[in-house]
Structure formats: structure tokens, C-alpha cells
Amino acid sequence: MSVKQVNIQVKQLSKISTEVESVSLPIVIDSELLTVAEFLKAVVLQQVEQYLQRFKEQSREDKLTQIEEALGTILFTGKLRFSSPVKYKDIDVAQEQQRVLQAFEDQLFLFFYGEQEFIALSQEIVLNDNDSFVFIPLNFLKSTF
């Protein structure tokens, strides 16, 4: 196994502004040549493990602070949120990987390596250190009507 350091940018597009969020991820892979599906699964696995680790490391005070902030938001805005942090402590990695693969097939996000757009899960990627990949979610299209 080898560890490759790749840079992943997530570009959020909207009518008002464009935000660019850049994340650097170490990806553990079996070889330098892998398919788009294998790459997406590795990214999801790494992100879920990182999230769960952060969730486990939170102290009780941090969790109570989050609850107090959520209650303050509810009282101020009058809007209720249903995305409780406790809800996400038992994440099924295989299900999340399948969800990302389905989203890619349904073209809910675009995936680029340099100028090349990946359009099939079976396309091969040759990874080198410090490669840059770009994800562009297309969810801004869902409420434009």
C-alpha cells in the first residue's frame, strides 16, 4: 500500500456568489492506478472515519454548547432543524459509498482532474502526489424554478 496526498476542491456555485472550499486529503490506496469508483469510495471512507473520530473526541461540554446554540437559533429564527449531530454517530460506510456512487451516476456532481471531466465510474485515474481534483455539486439547480 502507498499513501498519496491529493488536493480536493469542492466548488459551491450559486447565483449570488461562488465559494471555493479546498481540502487536502491523504488517500491510502493499493496502487497508483485505480478507477473513479475506487477513488470515490476511498474519499468517502476517509471522510466518514475523520467525521466519526471528531464526533467521538467531542467533550460533553461541546455537545451541550451545540445544543444550546441550536436552541438559540430556534428561538431567534423560529425555525426547527432536524440535523442533530447525534443522528450521525452511527454511519454505515458501505451505504454512504453507494450513495456517492449513485450520485455520480445521476450526475448530481461533476468530478474533474485538471481539465479532464470523469463521466464513468470505470474510468481509470493514475494518482501522483499533490494531484488536484475538483468536485462541483449541482444541487444549486434543484430550487431554481
What is the average pLDDT across 102-108? 91
Distance separating alpha carbons of residues 126 and 38, to the nearest angstrom = 12
Mean pLDDT of the chain: 77
pLDDT at residue 131 in the model: 83
Distance separating alpha carbons of residues 47 and 66, to the nearest angstrom = 21
CB atoms under 10 Å from CB of 11, counted, come to 16
Mind listing the pLDDT tens digit for each residue in 37-85?
999 998 888 888 887 887 777 666 776 776 677 666 666 665 555 555 5
Distance separating alpha carbons of residues 22 and 115, to the nearest angstrom = 17
Confidence of residue 3 (pLDDT cuts 50, 70, 90): confident
Distance separating alpha carbons of residues 76 and 96, to the nearest angstrom = 33
* CA distance readout (Å), 132 to 22, 23, 42, 127, 142: 10, 10, 15, 10, 27
Residue ranges of domains in the chain = 2-60+90-137
Tell me, what amino acid is at 65? T
Distance separating alpha carbons of residues 19 and 51, to the nearest angstrom = 22
Q: Does domain 2-60+90-137 have CATH number 3.90.700.10?
A: no
pLDDT at residue 65 in the model: 75
